[in-house]
A and B are shown apart, each in its own frame.
Chain A
Amino acid sequence: MEKENLWKSALAQIQLDISEPNFKTWFKKTSISEIKDNKAIISVPSNFVKSWIKKKYHKKILKSLKNVNSNIEDIDYIILANNTDEKKEAIKVENNNHPQMEFQELSLDPETGLNPKYTFDNFVIGPFNELAHAAGFAVSDNPGFVYNPLFIYSKTGLGKTHLLQAIGNKINKNKEKKVLYIPAQKFISEIISAIRGNKMDDFKYKYKDIDVFIIDDIQFLSGKEKTQEEFFHTFNELYEKNKQIILSSDRHPKSISALTDRLRSRFEGGMIADIGCPDTETRAAILKAKAKEKGFSFPDNVYYYIADNVKKNIRELEGVLNKIIIQQQITKKNINIEDVKLIIKNINQISSSSLSFSKLIKTVSDFYDVNEKDITGKSRKREIVKSRQIIIYILRKNLNYSFPYIAKKIGGKDHTTIMYSFSKIENEVKKNNDIKEEISYIEESLTTT
């Protein structure tokens, strides 16, 4: 405060002695950045200004400063280009509504990899994510000491990334801790290129000094042994130094296939929190918040209608909302519930036609980490039989294929085998929550990718 007042009174004196254009050109965006050993350090916006002020006004500035504070004996100058009133933090009003897509990477902070738009303030809390939110919030208050590692899992599009980034952004705000957010896919490709370019040391160095390490979509490590090994080392090194580690996945660590046991046990060593599906009220609240963010508002029954009819995930909700906003912009009239009904009907038609047999086989075999060919073959191995039965169940349930047709498709089995498989899974779904989750995950990824 003292510095500011000192500079203000000095400027008031200088202003009297020089012409207004001169004053405006040279003294705009200047300030005292510190006073050290009776020396005032004046920050100026550019080199041009520095050399000019030094040459023309040095004595005048010193005299004016002395008049106010007789202790000051000398002045020095530094260039601070960003000491302007237009702070960088001004967050751009997102215009997601234009169909022209943008590079998302450019919104990321190059140092932390975080996107500043994800905060706790715009994170909608409901019963489905209460636990994950509370754990995340606690971690952001005291990183490294409460829940370490924090493992958050949920199906896609329910706000994992938002929560992870919000934690990172909150910790990053006080600048004392070094935060790094990285999607697992990027982590993998970094390792691969480090190995290829013989730069493993650079890679290790990069992760050495991090205080908070956030890695998203960890399930992509599945099956990548070398990456898992490197990740294991990184994890241990950070963990031993009490550095916070936050992980996310689309399933429980137990269900991630082809993951080494030592990693799995590390993941399970801290706090595991899941995000479930939001209930109708929360979905409507989320829609309302998103619409507000984009600068629009619709009648409440529109939000509720969408929330009632689009149940899958938040990303999908946002997709519908975007369509409605575009519609409103094109027609230039207010959207009513009938318009929304029509829009949702169109969307649903597309999604039911996108399920194909080959895609189903691929998704299921990826999920259980079995060979695609074995599914239509004769193998009786347990995991293959299970995959086969789940495919049969999904085909029957979602596409209503006949049993003989499924039998033919799945490699010439008897149709009674198919009937047996179907009823077996059907029963199990009722009893066993794990299998229910697995199937809904598979269905999810069939419609989203």
Chain B
Amino acid sequence: MNIDLLQKNLKEGLSIVGRASSKSSNLPILKNILMDSRNGFLGLSATDLEIGIKWSTLVKVEKEGGIAIPYNSLSSFINFLPNDKINLKEENSNLFIDCKEYKTQIRGVSVDDFPEIPSFSKEKSFIVNSNVLCDSLSQIIDIPSMSKVKPEISGILFSFNEDELKIVATDSYRLAEKKVKVKKEEDGDFSFIIPQRTAREIINIFKEEEKDITVIFGENQILFKVIMDDFDHSKIELTSKIIEGNYPNYESIIPGEYKTQVIINREDFLNKVKAGSVFASKINEVNLHISPEKGEVYLKSGNNDLGNYEAKIEGKSEGEEVKISFNYRFLLDGLTNMKSSEVIFEASNESAPGVLKPVGKSDYIYVVMPIKN
């Protein structure tokens, strides 16, 4: 291998694939990244056997070839270099880096020892704008919690139904569903579950790219890729395993009706819940008292050691009177994940789930279970 490229480019690539390089692994080879140059492109790839990332850029190739290099050393060294032309040359499992006054040699490993990111046959695919996907994922990403018992709900569900993509997350106390606009190629409904970590990396990697992401789904795997601006060649490919199993029938969790509804200013509600959190008991309990007859909504919290809190919230309410308690953190999560200036809160009774929805948009719903009295 013998190639020339700009430091800025290499640095960008390293920061992206570095997300998949394994920090602690019983297999030392995974601490490396693979450099591979052919047909005028340089590809960098890394994997920890759960996800794999490949990044490609156009370079001047003098001689094709490849090498695996320890990620940490390479990446920290490249960061010190000026943004200038770098020459990378592989000889006898050594990488020679030449950039202005800097000359280095790093010991590498043969390409053959590096696990390749597996390819797989496509079953279904769709296209989604990266901003849309990343924003949507950010609204639900923090909800799942690791579960050994039910691995299915530790991930994020992607479910297609009649050309509508819904992404769903739950931790068994609350559940969020977000509708996402996509361009779909295949007909038919399908669904898959991606690990929470994969979703996080998608946000990290693709949020800067204002492009279309092609998502390809196949046997046990999923691939997210964007192509280069000027060439029909993929720029970033993120491959991940998917979680086996069936996602629970989550739709039955979303209440179809309500007995009490109130429309409130989101900022105001958020602020009053935050203030109430100071006084919340050990189990983070805050109590909402909605009485549509009087047109009043109160938020209360209290704890024996500190004292009590009560705030009146302005809002349009209708239906029956209800008193219902929640973990304030769950309320905050739901409220901060919505962007609208007003939100709808719905409830039926003190032991049925509460629902938060943005006003004016029907693409997000947050369902949360109360605290029993």
In the complex, which of the residues A86, A98, A103 contacts B170, with contact meaning CB atoms closer than 8 Å? A103
Which residues from chain B contact A48 at a C-beta distance below 8 Å? 47, 49-50, 52, 115, 117-118, 241
Determine if B360 is an interface residue (Cβ-Cβ < 8 Å). no
Binds B, one of A50-58, A167-175, A304-312, A354-362: A50-58
Contact of A102 among B119, B173, B247 (CB under 8 A): B173
Total CB contacts across the A-B interface at under 8 A = 101
Chain A neighbourhood of B219, CB < 8 A: 47, 79
B215 lies within 8 A of chain A by Cβ: no
Tell me which residues across on chain A come within 8 A of B256, comparing CB atoms: 189
CA distance A296 to B103 in the complex (A): 69
A22 and B173 alpha carbons, distance in the complex (Å): 40
- Asked if A103 contacts B49 (CB within 8 A), the reply is no
Distance in Å: Cβ of B76 to nearest Cβ of chain A: 24
Contact-residue bracket for chain A? 20 to 34
Residues of B with C-beta under 8 A to A88: 245
Cβ contacts under 8 Å, A100 to chain B:
173, 283, 327, 369, 371-372
Q: Per a CB cutoff under 8 Å, which of B173, B244, B245, B247 touches A103? A: B173
B270 to chain A, nearest CB (A): 21
Q: Bound state CA distance, A82 and B244, in angstroms?
A: 7
Task: For A111, list chain B residues within 8 Å (CB).
Answer: 246
In chain B, residues 102-151, which have Cβ atoms closer than 8 Å to a Cβ of chain A?
115-120, 148-150
Q: Is B6 an interface residue (CB 8 A)?
A: no
**24 cross-chain CB contacts under 8 A:** A21-B26, A25-B26, A47-B118, A49-B49, A51-B118, A52-B115, A55-B116, A79-B220, A81-B220, A81-B241, A82-B245, A86-B148, A92-B149, A99-B373, A100-B283, A100-B327, A100-B372, A101-B369, A103-B172, A103-B175, A103-B369, A105-B249, A110-B246, A110-B249
Q: Is the CB of A342 closer than 8 A to any CB of chain B?
A: no
Q: What range describes how many residues of B lie at the interface?
A: 35 or more
Cβ of B92 under 8 Å from chain A: no
Q: Is B250 an interface residue (CB 8 A)?
A: yes
The contact string, 1 if C-beta is below 8 Å from chain B, for chain A 178-210, is 000000001001000000000000000000000
State the CA gap A21–B31 with chains docked (Å). Answer: 13
Central interface residue in A105, A108, A111, by most chain B CB within 10 Å: A105
Per-residue B-contact encoding for A93-109, CB less than 8 Å = 1, 0 else: 00000111111011010
Task: Flag if B220 contacts A47 (CB, 8 Å).
Answer: yes
List A contacts of B250 (CB < 8 A).
105-106
Encode contact with A along B157-176: 1 for CB under 8 Å, 0 otherwise: 00000000000001011010
| CB-contact partner of B371 in A46, A52, A101, under 8 A | A101
